[in-house]
Chains A and B, each alone.
Chain A
């Protein structure tokens, strides 16, 4: 199973690459070219950087990536990577992939960025791994148009937001599973197993 991390700059991908590599049969590679990144069995959009800069890096391969996701390419978007699965962001200009309908906006809270461990309520994303307390480091969140894609919620101060979205084989998580200790790594492994079986 080829697992490709799309590297759109700035990134610390060490922990994420190692978390993915704990899955049986996973061959993890890092790819900076968005067109070549879709030539894979599983695409991973990591979570480092700002929306505008990432959208710029994504632009040359945006249509190819959209088409690949529409054809059923399994994809995991993490933090900013989840936000790139939506249409646009108030953080910066540029288009996301639009796989999920909705826009990314700033957390409505006094303490932004949200830094630390928070609970995921009613997680139904995977059958083989259940999320409880996960690590966040984010200022922006995805506002879904269709709440049925949300498979887990979190609340920061008074702002309830989508912790996880899933449609078909595409999953977006606002938190960092690769920083959420053993349960986070189990979630990554469970994702790879369930979307490729």
Chain B
């Protein structure tokens, strides 16, 4: 049986790790390679780099950073942010990423998911979906949450998988950085709609929130960032609670 996964996300910009609140207000929190290695040692199951660089100059540092990380990190590494073309995905994989998450570019041109899956395999294509609650449903947003689309998040998740995505990274914009827990209804709705792993993201403020995302939300994996970077909890504490809750977890102690 596959274990549930704890994934640590590092928002990177210009070669540094930063953290924002509700997609705004960035602070520097450290060196990406050192942080990734520290989280592996503490028992993280995967690391994700989300590149939020605004300029091409900043983005150039990403591939070098991915390669330096891949040479020392022995758990899966996902890279996302600003991935627009099949060539971008190829470059990320050659640099040492195991998976690439695609967000705005897939909304603009959904065929991109299929092209990447056919070329590199579905196992390295992650559909990243940013959703904001809109009445009884959730609306997909792009460009770091700034642009609303007409897409329903659950239907879009299903389409991404049909088109070749091997995993869905689902972020609640409403909850992101708020530390009041994942959007469990959104998570559950998408988990029930697709046959690939769903990663809950946005809103974890405690180990209990992570547990709830995996149990009540039904997610296969939970993505955490700020609560670890700020030292509010640790990978070990979260995993201990998950194990005590009876979830299948990779134990590293």
Residue numbers in A under 8 Å from B98 (CB-CB): 12, 137, 179
Cross-chain contact A181 with B252 (CB below 8 angstroms):
yes
Which stretch, B89-97, B141-149, B223-231, touches the partner chain A?
B89-97
- A29 sits at the interface (CB 8 A): no
Cross-chain contact A138 with B250 (CB below 8 angstroms):
no
Which of B94, B122, B197, B251 has a CB less than 8 Å from the CB of A12? Answer: B94
Total A-B contacts with CB atoms under 8 angstroms apart: 88
- A14 sits at the interface (CB 8 A): yes
Name the CB-closest residue of A to B97: A12
SS of A interface (majority): mixed
In the complex where A118-B2, A137-B123 touch, is A113 in contact with B93 (Cβ < 8 A)?
Answer: no
Which of A11, A111, A136, A180 has a CB less than 8 Å from the CB of B196? Answer: A111
Complex CA distance for A180 and B5, rounded to whole angstroms: 13
Q: How many chain B residues touch A (Cβ–Cβ < 8 Å)? A: 35
Cross-chain contact B3 with A118 (CB below 8 angstroms):
yes
A8 to chain B, nearest CB (A): 14
Cross-chain contact A135 with B76 (CB below 8 angstroms):
yes
Residues of A in contact with B, size category: 20 to 34
Cross-chain contact A18 with B72 (CB below 8 angstroms):
yes
Cross-chain contact B96 with A15 (CB below 8 angstroms):
yes
SS of B interface (majority): loop
23 residue pairs of the A-B complex, CB under 8 angstroms, read A10-B120, A11-B94, A12-B95, A15-B71, A18-B71, A49-B121, A111-B195, A111-B197, A114-B2, A115-B197, A116-B2, A116-B220, A118-B3, A119-B1, A133-B3, A137-B76, A139-B122, A178-B74, A179-B75, A179-B98, A181-B75, A184-B74, A185-B74
Complex CA distance for A10 and B121, rounded to whole angstroms: 11
A residues apposed to B, CB below 8 Å: 10-12, 14-15, 18-19, 49-50, 110-111, 113-119, 133, 135-139, 155-156, 178-182, 184-185
Which of A110, A119, A135, A156 has a CB less than 8 Å from the CB of B75? Answer: A135
Cross-chain contact B166 with A113 (CB below 8 angstroms):
yes
- B53 sits at the interface (CB 8 A): no
Which of B3, B70, B167 has a CB less than 8 Å from the CB of A14? Answer: B70
